[in-house]
Chain A
């Protein structure tokens, strides 16, 4: 009797309960030079926090030996990975959204995952929403915390508010996660090898594939640590006045083994290329130490670095908003402070 009454309201939430029943996660992973990118491993951490029992499959696509190498790395890079799926085809040589989203659709049809997760970077943000549209579900961008298997926290308004959203749609629930919020805490020596299997691409239809073609990629030289994952980030703003002066920031970064960041003003003034930009429209960083020189602290910039552990600000203007978030503020001329720091800081790295 009771059950009969209950079925009607339950019906509405049937998709919701199916999510909580069994959780299986697919990670859309990115690889480079035969290794999985650390941001993709952060996505595995995020999957782990959905549910301890979740089975995690990692999807990799590409072609040739570097893919095979990456697959081997994927199989042993995190103990929670239970399976590595590999899509090996010339179509995947470059990570195009058109091919990737079809691949996700194909793999989802077979695997019926409850969750699909990727890192919230230019790879994930390009692919995930398209794949979600093909699967007719709403994706959730830039998740910084997972409070339940269908409830997530994400920043809105450039990080000036936090929004808790509940996903009540059908499987899969698709997320892009902010890597700096899901730190990888893995002892890789204890890793067991996850099985690697090939994705059957015989039913991969061409559809929109081939309508976009990769032309080229201009990379910025990256001798220093990657901005997104560096322990220390040194950022310069407009006050540096010239690209020449910006070299002081680079020197200081070298000394600390740090990555170099910049504000939009510094990028627009042509001091540095735009992939160094930290902020709402650039990179989001959360290093152990963030040092800002000549940065005023516009909200768009703060959105990109407010989660840093320790923030140091050096600025001539004592009223600059950056001092409101800085743990240590030094009011002074950066053209005096930086040389002094260079002299007094011990060498590192």
Chain B
């Protein structure tokens, strides 16, 4: 079985982002970019499945501008076998990404797709569900545990839901999106980084995949969130209780 993993290049999670002064978006020039943390977990899970002998190949896919190749190289250095880059300079929203992924599924015929549960830039949490819908495949979102049974062609997925954990059993092929607790992603070692340079990254354009890049949503403006009014430091528990009772009226 082949596993396809979708990875996204985003502003590094540790960067304190700045909103552009013309309100058109967030500053991404000269800002450290990395693989979306949830995508790292998705890739790690695919690699672990391959290591346990249940998958034959892990294909990493990324969509966006030329620099996505760097993100794909990171994925290849972690252990992915091949990369696919769908090059597009236009802003890609989850619906388009899901359609592109569906088109790639028709080419690659994977038995499982693993994605992160959300990207930390747009915080959408949509792509996995959408590609599952388009393919009519079952979905296991927010996975914290994945068990594959390739003989019966099922995946048992433990999901993080409000108020606890839920276990689902999915017929393969299926789509799984990963939550933070699924695993601890590995670091790429130097030899593997060198090896990754010789691995293949195939390029596609959306046109070649017969997907029209258009969007039914547009960003009007991006602004800073309202600042909280500066608070006060207090010196004792008595003062705290007094403030909460008589100033804030919350207890």
Contact = CB atoms under 8 A, between A and B. Distances in A.
Interface of A: 96-98, 101, 121-123, 125-134, 136-142, 151, 154-170, 207-208, 211-220, 222, 226, 228, 232, 256, 264, 268, 273-275, 280-281, 283, 288-289, 299-300, 306, 309-312, 318, 323, 325-331, 337, 340-341, 344-346, 348
Contacts of B167: 214-217
Contact of A133 (B134, B179, B219, B224): B134
A268 to B, nearest CB: 8
Nearest to B162: A122
A250 to B, nearest CB: 17
A299 to B, nearest CB: 7
Interface stretch (B73-81, B121-129, B196-204): B121-129
Contacts of A123: 161-162
B53 interface: no
Given A212-B169, A217-B164, A345-B251, A97 B244 contact: no
**What is the interface residue range for chain B against chain A?**
35 or more
B219 A163 contact: yes
B216 A220 contact: no
A216 B166 CA distance: 6
Contacts of A154: 123
Contacts of A160: 16-17, 225
A289 B229 CA distance: 15
Given A130-B130, A299-B16, A328-B243, A217 B166 contact: yes
Contacts of A121: 162
Contact of A169 (B98, B216, B228): B216
Contacts of A340: 237
5 contacts: A133-B130, A133-B131, A159-B225, A328-B231, A329-B231
B238 interface: yes
Contacts of A137: 95, 216
B121 A156 contact: yes
B163 interface: yes
* 3 tightest A-B CB contacts, nearest first: A169-B216, A133-B133, A129-B129
B19 interface: yes
Contacts of A139: 126
A211 B138 contact: yes
Contacts of B16: 160, 299
A162 B222 contact: yes
A48 to B, nearest CB: 23
Contacts of A169: 216-217
Interface string B103-145: 0000000000000000011111111111111101111111010
B14 to A, nearest CB: 9
Contact of B217 (A156, A159, A166): A166
Contacts of A170: 216
B225 A130 contact: no
B206 interface: no
Contacts of B181: 268, 274
A123 B163 CA distance: 11
Contact of A165 (B131, B159, B160, B220): B220
A212 B139 contact: yes
Contact of A310 (B136, B137, B248): B248
B79 to A, nearest CB: 24
Contacts of A164: 219-223
A14 to B, nearest CB: 13
B219 A129 contact: no
B136 A208 contact: yes
A166 B142 contact: no
A330 B162 contact: no
B207 interface: no
Contacts of A140: 217
A207 B132 CA distance: 13
Interface in B155-194: 156, 159-171, 174, 179-181
B215 interface: yes
B238 A161 contact: no
Interface in B56-101: 93-95, 98
Given A122-B161, A212-B168, A166 B220 contact: yes
Interface in B1-59: 11, 13, 16-17, 19, 26
B123 A130 contact: no
A344 B162 contact: no
A218 B164 contact: yes
B218 interface: yes
A33 to B, nearest CB: 12
Contacts of A98: 138-139
Contacts of B163: 219-220, 222, 226, 275
Contacts of B174: 211-212
Contact of B250 (A232, A283, A318): A232
B152 to A, nearest CB: 12
B130 A142 contact: no
B225 A155 contact: yes
Contacts of A331: 233
A226 B163 CA distance: 9
A220 B162 CA distance: 10
Contact of A306 (B131, B228, B240): B228
Contacts of A101: 133
Contacts of A129: 94, 125-130, 133
B179 A311 contact: no
A141 B117 CA distance: 13
A343 to B, nearest CB: 9
Given A151-B220, A160-B17, A345 B139 contact: no
